[in-house]
């Protein structure tokens, strides 16, 4: 049994991670910007708290005493290029101060590399209207790659996209980028929690698809 803190617990990926962690018997701290909107997250095994994932002191204070952290947060009111880099810095510094050794973050398929090493977002035909958000996400991952830290981080992305239906198959595969693939949020959460319970990938970004 572990104590896991989930930043961005109110979103679909965050909620699925909370549910899967509880299913496995972990204690969860669910962090959101406005707890008043997410009372449904509260319950046995879950502590609901307000917090800003871009603030190092907040991350360090909230994460103290936890074994691992999941980053599933996004602030739609913030500039993406500011938010993701600030969150990466705050998580690395704050978790290190708190003594949390494992960070698993939710990423994008667009930032995964294709077979020739080219990020998907740089390939011909990629929708350019999504590029600024993808670049912002990638900038946060670059902060992780450039860090010298005791925090063992991992970015987990859908290999293609999340499925519209929320049926859980109970299985997933680690694969390369594949825009035709889909994974439910529930199956995606399996990958997040597996990489906390029995880490297999370290300081890289991986893609997962539903079985």
Round to whole Å and give the CA distance between 192 and 16: 10
Whether 10 and 16 have beta carbons less than 8 Å apart is answered as no
Distance of alpha carbon 35 from alpha carbon 40, whole angstroms: 10
Fold of 3-210: Rossmann fold (3.40.50)
Instruction: Work out the widest C-alpha separation in the chain, in whole angstroms.
Output: 49
**pLDDT per residue as tens digits for the range 146-175:** 999 999 999 999 999 999 776 788 999 999
pLDDT recorded at residue 210: 92
Quote the pTM value: 0.96
**All structural domains of the chain with their residue ranges:** 3-210
pLDDT digits (tens, 9 = 90+) for 113-126: 999 999 999 999 99
pLDDT band at 76 (very low <50, low <70, confident <90, very high): confident
């Amino acid at each position: 049994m572990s104590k896991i803190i989930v930043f961005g617990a109110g979103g679909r990926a965050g909620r699925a991670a909370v549910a899967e962690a509880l299913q496995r018997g972990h204690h969860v701290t669910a962090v959101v910007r406005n707890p008043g909107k997410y009372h449904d997250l509260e319950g046995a095994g879950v502590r609901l708290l307000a917090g800003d994932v871009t603030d190092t002191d907040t991350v360090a204070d909230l994460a103290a005493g936890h074994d691992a952290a999941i980053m599933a947060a996004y602030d739609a009111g913030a500039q993406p290029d500011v938010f993701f880099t600030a969150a990466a810095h705050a998580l690395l510094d704050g978790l290190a101060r708190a003594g949390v050794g494992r960070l698993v973050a939710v990423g994008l398929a667009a930032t995964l590399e294709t077979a020739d090493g080219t990020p998907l977002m740089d390939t011909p035909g990629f929708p350019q209207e999504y590029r600024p958000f993808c670049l912002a996400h990638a900038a946060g991952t670059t902060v992780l790659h450039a860090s010298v830290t005791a925090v063992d981080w991992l970015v987990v992305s859908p290999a293609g996209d999340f499925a519209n239906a929320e049926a859980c198959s109970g299985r997933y595969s680690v694969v390369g980028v594949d825009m035709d693939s889909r994974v439910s949020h529930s199956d995606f959460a399996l990958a997040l929690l597996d990489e906390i319970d029995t880490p297999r990938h370290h300081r890289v970004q991986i893609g997962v698809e539903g079985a």
